[in-house]
Amino acid sequence: MQKKDNSYYIDGIASGDAKILSEIYKDFLPNVRRFVLREKGSETDADDVFNQVLMQLYARLKVKKFEIQSTFEGYLFTACKNIWRRELNKKSRERVTKQGYAEHRGEASDFSRRNLEQEMWELYEEKFAELSDNCKEVLQLHLKKVSGKEIMEQLGYASEVTVRQRIFKCKSSLIKKIKSDKRFSS
């Protein structure tokens, strides 16, 4: 597969270019299928999730042009992964509801919620990219549930207390960056 820039795919989706859409399905759907199959889903589930993400992306592009900070493939896969995990959580909640009654929301409401969540994720990714390399590394290790002791050893900090302080400062910096962006308040 030849590496193409994000705008190639974005412009193709926005214009409904059948050739580019076909490439997107051919190049990126197999990874999504593998993920969904590994996570207790079927190929049909994967196809549905993939289509939802493309429809979401198309709808967003009709409203406004936006840039993807990561690779198109990374963006697409993360969006699919988020939707599939949300579907699993939703199914889990439906099984647990009292007297067998499940909450049902309209598809338009779900679509809007997913769209908003994707926009929030993109804001998070953008602001995370603005952090110092050290903060990114510390937070990534912390999010992967690496112990404070291991982080201390890997990054050469003096103590676990220093690691905890660094995690706190980096999280605070990230939160401040996100909250100061006008998209957060809207």
Question: Could you state, in order of their start, the residue ranges of all structural domains in the chain?
Answer: 1-122, 130-186
Q: Please, what's the b/e burial string for 50-71 (b: 16 or more CB within 10 A of its CB; e: otherwise)?
A: bebbbebbeebeeeeeeebeee
pTM metric for this prediction:
0.55
Each residue of 56-98: pLDDT tens digit? 888 888 777 777 878 889 889 999 998 898 888 877 666 555 4
Burial zone of 111 (CB within 10 Å; 0-12 exposed, 13-18 middle, 19+ buried)? middle
Q: Distances in Å between the alpha carbon of 123 and those of 22, 49, 126, 127, 150?
A: 29, 22, 5, 6, 29
Each residue of 127-171: pLDDT tens digit? 888 999 999 999 888 888 888 889 999 999 988 888 888 888 888
Question: Could you identify the residue written with the tokens 């939802």?
Answer: 52
Half-sphere exposure in the Cβ direction for 68 (13 Å, CA): 21
